[in-house]
A and B are shown apart, each in its own frame.
Chain A
Amino acid sequence: MRKLANIAAQAAQALLANKGRALLTILGIVIGIASVIALLGIGQGASNSITGRIAALGNTILTVLPGGGAAAEFESGGAGGQSNPSSSGGMPFASTAGSSLAEKDLAELQAVARHPSIRAVAGVVSASTILTINGHEQRVPLTGVTPAYFAIYGLTAQHGRLLADEDAKEKRLVLGSQVAADLYGSEDPTGRQIKLQGQDFTIVGVLAKGEESAFRNPNDQLYIPAAVAMERLGIKNYSSLVVQAAGDGQLEPAIAEVRTTLLETHAIADPKLADFSILSPQDLLAVTQQVAGTLTALLTSIAAISLVVGGIGIMNIMLVSVTERTREIGLRKAVGAKTRDILFQFLLEAVILTLAGSVLGIALGVGVGHLAGSLLGFAPAITPNAIALAIAVAAAVGLIFGIYPAAKAARLNPIDALRYG
Chain B
Amino acid sequence: MQPLIELRQVTKTYQWGPEKLQALKGIDLTVARGEFVAITGPSGSGKSTLMHILGLLDTLTAGTYLLDGQDVTRISKGRQAEIRNKEIGFVFQQFNLLPRATVLENVLLPTVYTNAPPPLQRARDVIEMVGLSEHIGHKGNQLSGGQMQRVAIARALVMEPSLLLADEPTGNLDSVTSLEIMELFRVANRRGTTVVLITHEPDIARLADRTVELRDGRITAKARGGRR
User: Do A338 and B113 form a contact, CB below 8 Å, given A333-B81, A414-B57, A415-B57?
Assistant: yes
Verify if B143 is at the interface (C-beta below 8 Å from A): no
Are B96 and A3 in contact (CB-based, < 8 A)? no
User: Do A339 and B78 form a contact, CB below 8 Å, given A328-B98, A415-B52?
Assistant: yes
Beyond A3-B112, A331-B92, A415-B52, 20 additional contacts (C-beta under 8 Å) are: A1-B115, A2-B114, A3-B113, A6-B112, A17-B100, A17-B101, A331-B98, A332-B109, A334-B57, A335-B85, A335-B90, A335-B109, A336-B85, A336-B86, A336-B113, A336-B114, A339-B77, A339-B81, A341-B113, A415-B57
Verify if B116 is at the interface (C-beta below 8 Å from A): yes
User: Do A10 and B112 form a contact, CB below 8 Å, given A336-B84, A338-B77?
Assistant: yes
Q: How far, in whole Å, are A228 and B225 apart by their CA atoms in the complex?
A: 126
**Shortest distance from the beta carbon of A32 to any chain B beta carbon, whole Å:** 29
Verify if A119 is at the interface (C-beta below 8 Å from B): no
Q: Which residues of B contact A13 (CB under 8 A)?
A: 101, 105
Q: Which 6 A-B pairs give the minimum distances between C-beta atoms?
A: A336-B85, A335-B110, A17-B100, A336-B113, A6-B112, A338-B81
Interface size class of A (residues with CB under 8 A): 20 to 34
Interface string of A318-348 (1 = CB under 8 A from B): 0000000001101111111111010000000
**Shortest distance from the beta carbon of B79 to any chain A beta carbon, whole Å:** 9
Q: Which residues of A contact B155 (CB under 8 A)?
A: 335
Are B113 and A335 in contact (CB-based, < 8 A)? yes
Q: Which residues of A contact B86 (CB under 8 A)?
A: 336
Q: List, sorted by A's number, 22 A–B pairs whose CB atoms are closer than 8 Å.
A: A2-B116, A2-B117, A3-B114, A6-B112, A6-B113, A6-B114, A7-B113, A17-B100, A328-B98, A332-B109, A333-B81, A334-B55, A334-B90, A335-B85, A335-B90, A335-B110, A336-B114, A338-B82, A339-B81, A341-B113, A414-B57, A415-B52
Verify if A106 is at the interface (C-beta below 8 Å from B): no
Are A334 and B84 in contact (CB-based, < 8 A)? yes
Interface size on B, residues (CB 8 A): 31
Q: How far, in whole Å, are A336 and B94 apart by their CA atoms in the complex?
A: 18
Q: How far, in whole Å, are A13 and B99 apart by their CA atoms in the complex?
A: 12
**Shortest distance from the beta carbon of A74 to any chain B beta carbon, whole Å:** 67
Verify if A418 is at the interface (C-beta below 8 Å from B): yes
Verify if B71 is at the interface (C-beta below 8 Å from A): no
Q: How far, in whole Å, are A3 and B112 apart by their CA atoms in the complex?
A: 6
The chain A residue sitting closest to B100, CB to CB, is A17
Q: Which residues of B contact A339 (CB under 8 A)?
A: 77-78, 81
Are B52 and A336 in contact (CB-based, < 8 A)? no
Interface string of B88-131 (1 = CB under 8 A from A): 00101010101011000100011111111110000000000000
Q: How far, in whole Å, are A418 and B93 apart by their CA atoms in the complex?
A: 10
Q: Which residues of A contact B180 (CB under 8 A)?
A: none
Q: How far, in whole Å, are A335 and B91 apart by their CA atoms in the complex?
A: 10
Are B113 and A327 in contact (CB-based, < 8 A)? no
The chain A residue sitting closest to B165, CB to CB, is A334
